[in-house]
Amino acid sequence: MQAPSPLSPPSGTPRPATPLPDLAWLLGASGLIPFLGLGLGAALGWDELLFPLLAYGATILAFLGAVHWGLALQAVPDEKPAERVRLVLGVVPSLVAWVALLLPVGTGLAVVAGAILLTAAMETVAAQARLMPAGYLRLRWVLSLGAALSLGLGITATGG
């Protein structure tokens, strides 16, 4: 008999399907304000906003990893096979964010934008396996696309 995949649906009862609180949407949308402001400012020629944009993106990327660390620590027993993947996904984004801060700004912006989108893609796989809270994925993609587009404005401002 083959062992279950770390991201296969749990065999028992999944987490209860509770919608995200309205405050999650409000705070999430508020988190796009620095992205949009810095990205637009950089696109308008204020080059001094490029590193703050990168730093904010790196901070948010590290935060996204923390979501998975928290889910791993609060997992129900049926989610045990996903524990390792969750813990790794909890740490890797912060390491990528740190490396991005050490790169030239344009490259760092691209790395952070790609990592934010890749993390959302991995969360999509986890959601299909019923390992993410209900409603989170929709919010996550809205915020990820807004962040990536803003980081893209910064990339274009660097000539990249």
Q: What is the pTM of this model?
A: 0.86
C-alpha to C-alpha distance for 71 and 52, rounded to whole angstroms: 29
Neighbours of 51 (CB within 10 A): 16
In three-state secondary structure terms, 10 is coil
CB 126 within 8 A of CB 72: no
* Structure confidence by residue, pLDDT tens digits, 63-93: 999 988 888 888 888 888 888 888 988 999 9
- Across the chain, what does the average pLDDT equal? 89
* Structure confidence by residue, pLDDT tens digits, 7-51: 554 444 555 556 789 999 999 999 999 999 999 999 999 999 999
Could you say which DSSP state residue 1 is in? Answer: -
CB 108 within 8 A of CB 100: yes
> What local confidence, expressed as pLDDT, does residue 16 receive?
54
C-alpha to C-alpha distance for 72 and 130, rounded to whole angstroms: 13
- Give yes or no for residue 113 having a pLDDT over 50: yes
Give 78 or 62, the one with higher predicted confidence: 62
> What local confidence, expressed as pLDDT, does residue 119 receive?
95
